[in-house]
Structure 1
Amino acid sequence: MGQFEPVQIVAKSGANFIIRHGVEGDASALITLATQCIEDGEGQIWVPGEFNLTEEQEREWIKGLRENPNELLLVAEAEGNIVGVMDFHVGKRKRTCHAGMLGTAVAKDWRSQGVGSALLGEIIKWAKSNPEIEKLSLRVLANNHPSIGLCKKFGFQQEGYGRKEVKLGPNEYLDDVLMCLFVG
């Protein structure tokens, strides 16, 4: 398991939250957060009803991240509720395990409060302290300007662009942006 000490953060609203390791006991709350973010639709490639993980599958996913010292699952928790999550998972082959992908979700009421920024900042600090990790990557929809701006704030650069990668409906598409940050 990647080492991470919990961190107390004050949101822009003045509310407190902590960032800590995600644990298997968070499975139900993480499914709820993912479902809410998917239903909200902002920045998502999933559509409602498409995310169907069971609590046991989510627990196994969390366990897998916790067992790999080069992977990390962080949650943002406020008053006992998970309000944000960010995971980092590396490639599974010897030639790709120096790099990995980030995934994130922040509850609608907690967006623009510093949760995503705090999660990303902590993962970057952790990755820089891990000699095995050299590159962080993520994919973001081209119209998700807040997420793109957040990534640029932390030094991520655009690495690729998938034209019409996400189909919203007949003749309605969104492009996908691949962004990366070298940390090692």
Structure 2
Amino acid sequence: MSILKTIGSYIVRTGKIEDAEVTLDIQRSVVSEGEYLIAYPEEFTNTLNQQREYIQNILENENETINVAEKDGEVDGWIVFESTQNRKRMSHTGSFGMLIRNNYRGLGIGKMLLQVLLDWTEKNPLIEKVSLGVFATNHRAISLYKKMGFIEEGRKINEFKFDDNEYVDDILMYKLV
């Protein structure tokens, strides 16, 4: 187990195949909230085997990473960085997604995960730009990203439509590393 950062009683470590069940559980939980991810609960059908394969593929790629935040043996959040390697002109870029259990938000876990990710990207000779997309209504996440040096580079207007004809913009942010 590679411990990358310790804050209080939390550690951030490199994810492993054995984290597939807990990361999938966290993802399902966040999807079920209906506020922060694109998929509706009934659309999110990933299986444990698919999650294992996903983590394995991330771990096998030197330009991608997955990290988990753990306290007392319990994983409460995770972050994954996926590179854009399918096109040579974009191979210096990648994007991340981060998921934290609802009751554990606001405790600094997201900041800790994101800092570990940024430290990793700065050491990776290929990665020059880290990107993300975030719902315009996710004010807490946007605030964190800005504090960590991310800049808004664009906005997809009315990108997401909710059941009650409410639309939400997708804010595109980046940081050069």
Fold shared, TM-score > 0.5 on shorter chain: yes
- Offset at 1:170? 4.2
Bigger drift between 113-122 and 86-95 goes to 86-95
Matched with 1:168 is: 162
- Offset at 1:8? 1.6
Q: What TM-score do you get using the length of structure 2 for normalisation?
A: 0.95
Structure 2 CA distance for aligned equivalents of residues 132 and 5 of structure 1: 23
For residue 147 of structure 1, give the secondary structure of its aligned residue in structure 2.
helix
Bigger drift between 54-63 and 35-44 goes to 35-44
Structure 2, unmatched stretches of 5+, are: none
Matched with 1:13 is: none
Contact 2:4 2:116 in 1 (8 A): no
Whether 1:122 aligns to 2:112 is: no
**Larger helix percent:** 2
Matched with 1:149 is: 143
Contact 2:3 2:11 in 1 (8 A): no
Q: What TM-score do you get using the length of structure 1 for normalisation?
A: 0.91
Matched with 1:52 is: 45
Bigger drift between 169-178 and 159-168 goes to 169-178
For residue 49 of structure 1, give the secondary structure of its aligned residue in structure 2.
helix
Matched with 1:90 is: 83
State, as a whole percentage, how many aligned pairs show the same letter: 39
Whether 1:133 aligns to 2:127 is: yes
Whether 1:72 aligns to 2:72 is: no
Matched with 1:24 is: 17
For residue 95 of structure 1, give the secondary structure of its aligned residue in structure 2.
helix
For residue 43 of structure 2, give the secondary structure of its aligned residue in structure 1.
coil
Bigger drift between 88-97 and 146-155 goes to 88-97
Structure 1, unmatched stretches of 5+, are: 11-15
Structure 2 CA distance for aligned equivalents of residues 125 and 176 of structure 1: 26
Count of residue correspondences: 175
Matched with 2:34 is: 41
For residue 100 of structure 1, give the secondary structure of its aligned residue in structure 2.
strand
For residue 160 of structure 2, give the secondary structure of its aligned residue in structure 1.
strand
1:54-99 deviation digits (Å, cap 9, x = unpaired): 1111111101111111111011112222100100011122221110
Matched with 1:9 is: 7
RMSD (Å) for aligned C-alpha atoms: 1.2
Structure 1 CA distance for aligned equivalents of residues 15 and 44 of structure 2: 19
Matched with 1:101 is: 95
Structure 2 CA distance for aligned equivalents of residues 172 and 70 of structure 1: 37
